[in-house]
């Protein structure tokens, strides 16, 4: 059966309210982890955010949680060198993975991140979904394919979230979405709905909140 990767629909009122209530309950930084033995207990629903350096990951996490400085944004590629855990209410972990691609770091450090990333993705039984962030201006790049391949191999379902949608025109977005859909067709772990967001304009934030709130334990 062919999968078309439609855009995620606007949530129904009750779904939107569930998402609003989840994040209204509060979110806090728990810890930064540099090794598997530092991981918190896997006792709640966990989702992670992955994305190329400077894709707007920290800004999106801040927008979704409603906390302006929860995740530290940086203009320096590769600045986030650890897996950061945030608590959402008392029921969810939101996990910020290190930015990948053209990381401004020594090769040995990058190799250490990659090893930790692989161990995390294959070793967290409570990880329900990865959100792979794709810059709307650029579409899927080879380095994004690498993380998607890793998610396939780790059997972690992933959903693409388009960032910075306000930065391009509608006709350009149509072309980019076509490129993204073509790329996703090769990945068995890809979830069949795309989420289009703009952190600056608040586009797609309600949808993303409701999706996270709707992921069962």
| Residue 122 belongs to domain with CATH number | 3.40.50.300
Q: Is residue 1 part of a domain?
A: no
Query: 93 lies in which domain range?
Result: 6-214
| Structural domain total, the chain | 1
> What is the chain's alpha carbon radius of gyration, rounded to the nearest angstrom?
16
* 47, part of any domain: yes
pLDDT of residue 103: 55
Smallest CA-to-CA distance from 151 within 127, 178, 180, 181 is with 127
pLDDT at 34: 87
Beta bridge partners of 94: 47, 86
Question: Where are the strands (E) in 34-77, listed by range?
Answer: 45-51
pLDDT along the chain (217 residues), means of 10: 83 97 95 92 96 91 90 57 91 90 70 86 94 97 92 96 96 97 96 96 97 89
Residue 85 resides in a domain: yes
- pLDDT of 113: 81
């Amino acid at each position: 059966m062919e999968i078309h990767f439609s855009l995620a629909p606007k949530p129904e009122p009750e779904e939107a309210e569930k998402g609003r209530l989840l994040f209204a309950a509060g979110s806090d930084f728990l810890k930064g982890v540099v090794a598997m033995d530092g991981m918190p207990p896997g006792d709640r629903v966990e989702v992670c955010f992955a994305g190329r350096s400077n894709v707007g990951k920290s800004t999106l996490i801040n927008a979704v949680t409603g906390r302006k400085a929860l995740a530290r944004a940086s203009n320096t590629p590769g600045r986030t060198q650890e897996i950061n855990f945030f608590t959402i209410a008392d029921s969810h972990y939101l996990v910020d993975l290190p930015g990948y691609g053209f990381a401004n770091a020594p090769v040995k450090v990058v190799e250490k991140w990659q090893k930790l990333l692989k161990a995390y993705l294959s070793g967290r039984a409570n990880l329900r979904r990865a959100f792979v962030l794709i810059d709307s201006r650029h579409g899927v790049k080879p380095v994004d394919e690498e993380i998607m391949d890793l998610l396939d191999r780790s059997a972690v379902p992933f959903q693409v979230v388009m960032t910075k949608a306000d930065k391009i025109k509608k006709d350009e977005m149509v072309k980019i979405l076509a490129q993204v859909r073509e790329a996703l067709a090769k990945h068995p772990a890809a979830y069949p709905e795309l989420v289009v967001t703009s952190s600056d304009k608040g586009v797609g934030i309600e949808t993303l909140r409701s999706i996270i709130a709707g992921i069962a334990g």
